[in-house]
Structure 1
Amino acid sequence: MLDRIDIVSAAPLGAASRQTQPVVTLRSLATATPPHRLVQSEVRDASRALFADRMPFFSRLEPVFDNAEIEHRYSCQPLEWFMQPADFKEKSRLYVEHATALAEDAARRALDAAAMEADEIDLILFVSSTGIATPSIDARLLNRIPFRSNVMRLPVFGYGCAGGVLGLSRAAQMARTSPGLNVLLIVVELCSLAFRLDRLTKSNLVACALFGDGAAAAVISSGLDAGGAGCTIGSSGEHCWPDTLNVMGWDVDAGGLDVIFHQSIPDIVARDYPVVLDRFLADCGLTRATVGRPCCHPGGAKVITELESVFGLPAAGLTSERRVLRDFGNMSAPTVLFVLDDLLRSGASGPLLLTALGPGFTAAFQCIDVAAQGARP
């Protein structure tokens, strides 16, 4: 049992506070994927060729590729690249190259969708946990997109799968404290580069079946004239359970990043997440019944099933989450923003609750209110 509750959240603003606090609006949201499309059946066959002779338990774990409910996902490298060893130096080079390109793609899409020029951005918040770069990726973007030379930058590392929700929360919190601020949030993960040819473990095989690459970007503005997509960003919160550092994360060695899955995340969702969720919602004056639609990070098929139960939804009720998992896999931090994009394109409106789980072990929450406007093209 994960047993201590220690919520940090932003409660809803009272009437007096609303007069002094600027409205924070999600003006645009865009997604991007790298060029290589990996078909799950082909990944399964390649994994069999790589591991079956070296892993006595491979046949017992092979069904994970079908049980993941993923049809295809995207990678910065073609499938053939994964058939040969690569060290951390090579993976880091590829991370810088492809993360910069993918960040640029997502950023330009978000700026275009917001009808804004790059020099109108005051702060770039860049979130990623699948590679290391100094100068950071956001600094490299200044040589490719005409941002102002004095634009503020904040690279954030280590949020993992919670990075999409926590990145949006941090961007909104900073915008709220500076009326008129325009923030560009960029979230990029290249999970495929964490593939380990040398790791004969269950965790590595699960990662082979689950993870993909992707990026999302959003423009967040503060002030009553923020305009945009009609999405108001509200209360946020997070909870970090003590003594859970080994639930999820990376081990780092000369071969690169090695995924950690030491506890059953679906079990945590079923057993410990509901109490934390209800505490956050109560702080916001909400309940599970009054949340119009959860917008969940689809960590995997079993996680989605448990989340459907937690939110009182029928089997397969989290349709956008299952659709994103099917078509893109688990891209870590950007995935929940892909789900939000899918919901907005489907015409979702009213109160939404973005939620994700990540290293720490951490639960993240972000409330958004979407004005009724019909499905986006």
Structure 2
Amino acid sequence: MPVSHLMPRIAGIATAVPPHALPQSEVVAHAAETFGNRFRDFERLRPVFENTGIIQRYSVQPFEWFHRSQNWQQRTEAYLDGATDLFRDAASQAMDAAGVTAGEIDTVVTVSSTGIATPSLEARAHAALGFRPDVRRVPVFGLGCAGGVTGLSLAARLARADPGSKVLLVAVEICTLAFRDDELTKSNIVATALFGDGAAGLVLTADEGEGARVVSSGEHLWPETLGVMGWQVDPVGFSAIFSASIPDLVSQKMRPAVAAFLERQDEALDDLSGFAFHPGGAKVVEALEQAFALPQGTLNVERETLRDFGNMSAPTVLFVLQRKLEEGLPGRSLVSALGPGFTGSFVRLDA
């Protein structure tokens, strides 16, 4: 088959986490100390920590950092340092997995919504990694938890548009910097119970090599859902916006949206033999199982990823995808995540 007609393939994939482990038992103890005497609903919400299915997460900062009040500037400085380090780690490992050097990368797509970096992260990591001066840079902000899948979609389209070129995607999120001791809200408690830091990198290229191929991609934005998920910004930093309706939205809306996406590609849900979902939380994973009538065990990797790393926003689904590719993701598969908008993002892979 001519190279120009080949679908982009994943030539290499890798993940990275920062050095500071946050055991869930210590997080809930810290939260109780922080909120217990000031937030009358904390004890009612305390089971949220225990029902997440999370045992451990990771952070760019140690526990001590969170015991001090941090303003926007301090959070931004921590983001720039931590996200740049994670970008380098994930990018280096992904390029090693693909057997390419930084000098061979033609385009870098950077996905991150948990901090503001101008110059963007790939520019900050440029010299250390050894990218060429003419490397094309595509920083993307605002996709939240959908960023890993939408980033994969974008990177694949760029690779397909320039056959033989090599596109590096890095999704990096420093969610823990949004932990707030001044926000006495349910959304803040849920964020404190769920989120961790991490990064994932992929190299894509449209050539005749081996690897899972991106066949198609798409999105679905549900109307009048702007308040379901996102950031609120104030002088202290970001604070999370979450709606309790998310699992219900997944249960009721996700399957029809995926079916419509597949129909546009002349495919159907019954054609799929594998799934890789973003595990936004334990209830979301349960809702996905119900929505797609999946056999028990189908989403074990999603649960294990949530257990070991928490919800890292955009990179999380790529952690899942890496594991499933290593274990043998079957044939026609769907990679999917949900994020602010409220939006579903979909990628169809042939593994």
The TM-score range, normalised by the shorter chain, is over 0.9
Aligned to 2:269, what secondary structure does the other structure show?
Answer: coil
1:161-193 Cα deviation digits (max 9, x unpaired)? 000000000001111111112100010000000
In structure 2, C-alpha distance between the alignment counterparts of 1:315 and 1:68, rounded to whole Å: 19
Residue matched to 2:183 = 199
Residue matched to 1:187 = 171
Moved more, 172-181 or 360-369: 172-181
Runs of 4 or more consecutive aligned structure 1 residues displaced over 6 Å after TM superposition: none
Residue matched to 2:120 = 136
Residue matched to 1:67 = 51
- The structure carrying a bigger helix percent of its residues is 2
Offset at 1:286?
A: 2.5
In structure 2, C-alpha distance between the alignment counterparts of 1:324 and 1:156, rounded to whole Å: 24
In structure 1, C-alpha distance between the alignment counterparts of 2:4 and 2:298, rounded to whole Å: 39
Residue matched to 2:147 = 163
Offset at 1:19?
A: 8.6
Q: Which runs of 5+ in 2 are unaligned?
A: none
| Aligned partner (choices 245, 248, 252) of residue 264 of structure 1 | 245
Retained in 2: the 8 A contact 1:76–1:213?
Answer: yes
Residue matched to 2:262 = 281
Retained in 1: the 8 A contact 2:146–2:344?
Answer: yes
| Aligned partner (choices 8, 11, 16) of residue 32 of structure 1 | 16
Superposed CA RMSD in Å reads: 1.4
After the TM superposition, which residues 92-107 of structure 1 pair with which residues of structure 2 at under 5 Å, given as runs?
A: 92-107=76-91
The TM-score, its normalising length taken from structure 2, stands at 0.97
Residue 309 (1) aligns with residue 255 (2): no
The TM-score, its normalising length taken from structure 1, stands at 0.91
Residue matched to 2:315 = 334
Amino acid corresponding to residue 169 of structure 1 in structure 2: S
Structure 2 CA distance for partners of 1:316 and 1:56, relative to 1, 3 Å: farther
Residue 366 (1) aligns with residue 350 (2): no
Residue matched to 1:117 = 101
Moved more, 234-243 or 149-158: 234-243
Aligned to 1:144, what secondary structure does the other structure show?
Answer: helix
Residue matched to 1:11 = none
Structure 2 CA distance for partners of 1:59 and 1:316, relative to 1, 3 Å: farther
Retained in 2: the 8 A contact 1:308–1:316?
Answer: no
Retained in 2: the 8 A contact 1:44–1:65?
Answer: yes
In structure 2, C-alpha distance between the alignment counterparts of 1:356 and 1:368, rounded to whole Å: 14
Retained in 2: the 8 A contact 1:316–1:322?
Answer: no
In structure 1, C-alpha distance between the alignment counterparts of 2:222 and 2:292, rounded to whole Å: 21
In structure 2, C-alpha distance between the alignment counterparts of 1:315 and 1:208, rounded to whole Å: 29
Residue 90 (1) aligns with residue 71 (2): no
In structure 2, C-alpha distance between the alignment counterparts of 1:317 and 1:150, rounded to whole Å: 43
Amino acid corresponding to residue 259 of structure 2 in structure 1: D
Retained in 2: the 8 A contact 1:102–1:215?
Answer: yes
Moved more, 186-195 or 136-145: 136-145
1:61-112 Cα deviation digits (max 9, x unpaired)? 0000010010001111112211221001000001000100000000000111
In structure 1, C-alpha distance between the alignment counterparts of 2:227 and 2:5, rounded to whole Å: 39
Aligned to 1:258, what secondary structure does the other structure show?
Answer: strand
Structure 2 CA distance for partners of 1:160 and 1:175, relative to 1, 3 Å: same
Identity of aligned residues (%): 50
Retained in 2: the 8 A contact 1:305–1:316?
Answer: no
Amino acid corresponding to residue 271 of structure 2 in structure 1: T
Retained in 1: the 8 A contact 2:252–2:291?
Answer: no
In structure 2, C-alpha distance between the alignment counterparts of 1:323 and 1:291, rounded to whole Å: 22
| Aligned partner (choices 77, 94, 99) of residue 61 of structure 2 | 77
Residue 323 (1) aligns with residue 323 (2): no
After the TM superposition, which residues 345-364 of structure 1 pair with which residues of structure 2 at under 5 Å, given as runs?
A: 345-364=326-345
In structure 2, C-alpha distance between the alignment counterparts of 1:314 and 1:348, rounded to whole Å: 16
Structure 2 CA distance for partners of 1:101 and 1:19, relative to 1, 3 Å: closer
Aligned to 2:271, what secondary structure does the other structure show?
Answer: coil
How many matched pairs? 351
Retained in 1: the 8 A contact 2:179–2:192?
Answer: yes
Amino acid corresponding to residue 359 of structure 1 in structure 2: P
Residue 343 (1) aligns with residue 324 (2): yes
